[in-house]
Chain A
Amino acid sequence: MANEIKMETRLAQAGSRGDPRTGALTMPIYQTASFAHPELGRSTGFDYSRTANPTRLALETTLAEIEGGDRAFAFGSGLAAIDAVLRLFAPGDKIVVTEDLYGGTFRLFAQVARPIGIEPVFVDTSDTDLVARTLSDSSVKGLFVESPTNPLLKVADLGALAELCRARGVRFIVDNTFLTPYLQQPLAWGADLTVYSATKYLAGHNDVVAGAVVTSTSELSGLIGFYQNAVGAILGPMDAWLTLRGLKTLPLRLRYQQESARQIAEWLREHPRIDRVYYPGFGGMISFDVHDPERVEAILKGVNVFLFAESLGGVESLITYPLVQTHADMDPELLVRLGIGNRLLRLSIGIEHPDDLISDLEALL
């Protein structure tokens, strides 16, 4: 964070000083399309809500501040945010991309970017030497990294990757959805842009679909701001307000979720019917392979505390079957090579008591 104030403090008051006229403690929901001009050629700073809306701006300002970014931009979904970043590249460019990333992002690169001439090169970005070799191709103009990855929770060395990118003039983009700025600050490590599915931990209540881009320079802000306005894949004021409301409790939620996830990962590691646990030691996401794939259906059907649903990062704990839900659009070959198989389940740990979550799994294993 750019200033000394702690993130908990900044977030507790997110949007709290946004309406000096009334002093309202929460940001008003500006459910308006347009803004009257005081006179011709004079604007209040707001003309049309696609271009800028005060409620969305309060969210965008908060996101930029907690990450020490130049500016932030809120979009209709995480994929709409990633699409805006894709538009920085031109036909003929290559982008090196984390191979085991969210299935929707994979689909965007493979089925939207590739047909317009932007070639994704999927590699294991937790292997810094491999990334360095891949970046030596001069047509590579971008590096897009998820860390930890989805669903295998592999961790990349962001500082080392940023250095490689800087040396080669490659744009470095980090999808920071899983950890949020509260646990990881990619811009401070030297990333040019961070992207978020704000649907997840940032909003945190499984009640909004939203996305965001945070930029490191005013040049990038100019470009992303132009695309946000020109394409118009914006976030509506109600959803911006709910995201802002969710952000107030981000540190509380994430601390508790991480603590529970550590306990549950420990417990899973000891369990005889679990073959492998994927947990990097931080964050609220855990993936694991059950020994017997036949049990998967019974687990998904039998959970009482966990909800069987896709998505993650909310106050409710979710259990997901990546092979058929989040990663259904990935190349079958890649799924096999990565180990995303019929035994893999993913947990998003919520804020229920960890003992109840463990009992729920224990009864089914």
Chain B
Amino acid sequence: MKSETQVVHAGRDRDPYTGASSIPIYQTSTFAQPDPAHPGPYDYSRSGNPTREALEQALAELEGGAVGLAFASGMAAISSVFMLFKPGDHIVVTHDVYGGTYRALTTLFARWRLDHTFVDMTQPTLVRAAIRPETVALFVETPANPLLQITDLRVMAAIAAEHQILAMVDNTFLTPYLQKPIAFGFDIVMHSVTKFLGGHSDLVAGAVVTRDDDWGCRLKAVQNTFGAILGPQDAWLTLRGIKTLAARMEAQQRTAARVAEWLVDHPRVKQVYFPGLPSHPGREINESQAAGPGAIVSFELVDRPTTLNLLKRVELSLVAVSLGGCESILSYPVMMSHAGIPRPERLARGITDELVRLSVGLEAAEDLIADLEKALND
């Protein structure tokens, strides 16, 4: 089945009882039981809810995994995955990981003695060197946030297999429509569903898909025990958003490519980070593992006043945190998504005071470019 068809029909896309073409919103906490000896399929919505389950099944199908699980936020999904590990375990993490993941690892899970090492995952030798006897997993983000660095999924899966550790990836930026890491041997795929999957900037949600049933069962136990679940209304909105995932991603990445090309030629732009540009060092790897570059463009301005002026003057793009919605969102990583990373470490990762990140939405490319041009020339 083509991806465009799959996103419209993935999971249980109709109500098994009435045939309604949209799964009902089961806004219920509990389920009456017909008979004590034969419990029904659902008992309590934390453990299982038909609306959430429809979404979970759709996500598992889209990623080509065995089990999908939906959480209250992307961070709740990632935190629940970290809860699979025990004190003393160690994970190797991409050095340009999302600021929220960085904060959870360094301030919270470090306290529970889940150890971590950040490495530049574009250098497989560094990844190999960071693996210790206690290492249990690799944590990859590709394209990474905010510099859109590309990590080779096949190589990472091979390293993980070689050391018999888990290969995990945050697939938020490309979604399964453009990139299916499980096909390359990844064990666990995580999402901030808030972004492209939900796609309308109207909900906060997270998800995890596991390659096999074993890790799926373990994570389902964490989901039930810890209870960071997604509510039925938000699960339903996500399912609704996924139906247009293919259409949105195609349009957004096409516009992103045009905006990126335009930015490259602008005299006040020092550097453009976009995996679709010929100058991007990870372009070939990305093309070999993903069906497109995605819709996030980061760029560095010539100086700080130009940067602040752009953020102040831009009218069409919303200045806000988050990404992946129908509306273009311009954000300032040092003060927003990556504020949790101390400045020296931020600078070492190339996240400078002149860097902005543009999540390209569904507006016309001409309008976005005209707006940026006006704001840059002011």
Q: How far is the CA of A323 from the CA of B19 in the complex (A)?
A: 37
* A231, closest chain B residue (CB): B79
**Which residues of chain A come closer than 8 Å to B108, judged between CB atoms?**
87, 227, 230-231
Quick one: given A35-B320, A91-B87, A231-B108, are A297 and B32 in contact (CB under 8 Å)?
no
Asked if A186 lies at the interface with its beta carbon under 8 angstroms from chain B, I say no
Q: Is the CB of B29 within 8 A of A233?
A: no
Q: A41, A47, A308: which contacts B33 (Cβ < 8 A)?
A: A308
Q: How far is the CA of A161 from the CA of B378 in the complex (A)?
A: 66
* B78, closest chain A residue (CB): A232
Asked if A234 lies at the interface with its beta carbon under 8 angstroms from chain B, I say yes
Q: Is the CB of A209 within 8 A of B111?
A: no
What 1/0 flags go to B191-234 for Cβ under 8 Å of A?
Answer: 00010001001111110000000000000000001111111011
What 1/0 flags go to A205-239 for Cβ under 8 Å of B?
Answer: 01111010000000000000001001111111011
**Which residues of chain B come closer than 8 Å to A117, judged between CB atoms?**
87, 112-113
What 1/0 flags go to A100-123 for Cβ under 8 Å of B?
Answer: 000010011001100111000000
Q: A35, A209, A232: which contacts B76 (Cβ < 8 A)?
A: A232
Q: Is the CB of A236 within 8 A of B31?
A: no
What 1/0 flags go to A305-341 for Cβ under 8 Å of B?
Answer: 0011111001000100100110000000000000000
Q: How far is the CA of A47 from the CA of B332 in the complex (A)?
A: 13
Number of A-B contacts (CB under 8 A): 205
Q: Is the CB of B319 within 8 A of A39?
A: yes
CB A163 to nearest CB in B, in angstroms, measures: 30
**Which candidate, A6-14, A72-80, A177-185, A267-275, is the interface stretch facing chain B?**
A72-80
CB A51 to nearest CB in B, in angstroms, measures: 9
Q: Is the CB of A107 within 8 A of B72?
A: no
Q: Is the CB of B31 within 8 A of A79?
A: no
Q: Is the CB of B75 within 8 A of A310?
A: no
Q: Is the CB of B227 within 8 A of A83?
A: yes
Q: Count how many chain A residues have C-beta atoms less than 8 Å from C-beta atoms of the other chain.
A: 65
Q: Is the CB of A307 within 8 A of B320?
A: no
Q: Is the CB of B83 within 8 A of A112?
A: yes
Q: Is the CB of B325 within 8 A of A309?
A: no
What 1/0 flags go to B137-149 for Cβ under 8 Å of A?
Answer: 0000000000000
Q: Is the CB of B104 within 8 A of A231?
A: yes
**Which residues of chain A come closer than 8 Å to B312, judged between CB atoms?**
39-40
CB A167 to nearest CB in B, in angstroms, measures: 28
Closest 7 CB pairs of A and B: A232-B75, A77-B227, A232-B73, A238-B233, A79-B227, A233-B228, A34-B322
Q: 30 A-B pairs, CB-CB below 8 angstroms? A: A32-B201, A33-B194, A34-B318, A34-B322, A40-B311, A48-B321, A76-B76, A76-B228, A79-B227, A83-B228, A108-B226, A111-B225, A115-B86, A116-B86, A211-B227, A227-B108, A230-B104, A231-B76, A232-B73, A232-B206, A233-B71, A233-B227, A236-B203, A236-B205, A238-B233, A297-B37, A300-B35, A309-B31, A309-B33, A311-B30
Which B residues have a C-beta under 8 Å from some C-beta of A?
Answer: 27-37, 43-46, 49, 71-76, 79, 83, 86-87, 100, 103-104, 107-108, 111-113, 194, 198, 201-206, 225-231, 233-234, 237, 308, 311-312, 318-322, 325, 329, 332, 335-336
Which A residues have a C-beta under 8 Å from some C-beta of B?
Answer: 31-37, 39-41, 47-50, 53, 75-80, 83, 87, 90-91, 104, 107-108, 111-112, 115-117, 199, 203, 206-209, 211, 227, 230-236, 238-239, 242, 296-297, 300-301, 307-311, 314, 318, 321, 324-325
Given pairs A33-B204, A209-B44, A233-B79, 11 additional interface contacts (CB within 8 A):
A33-B202, A76-B229, A80-B72, A80-B226, A83-B228, A115-B86, A234-B72, A235-B72, A238-B234, A308-B36, A325-B43
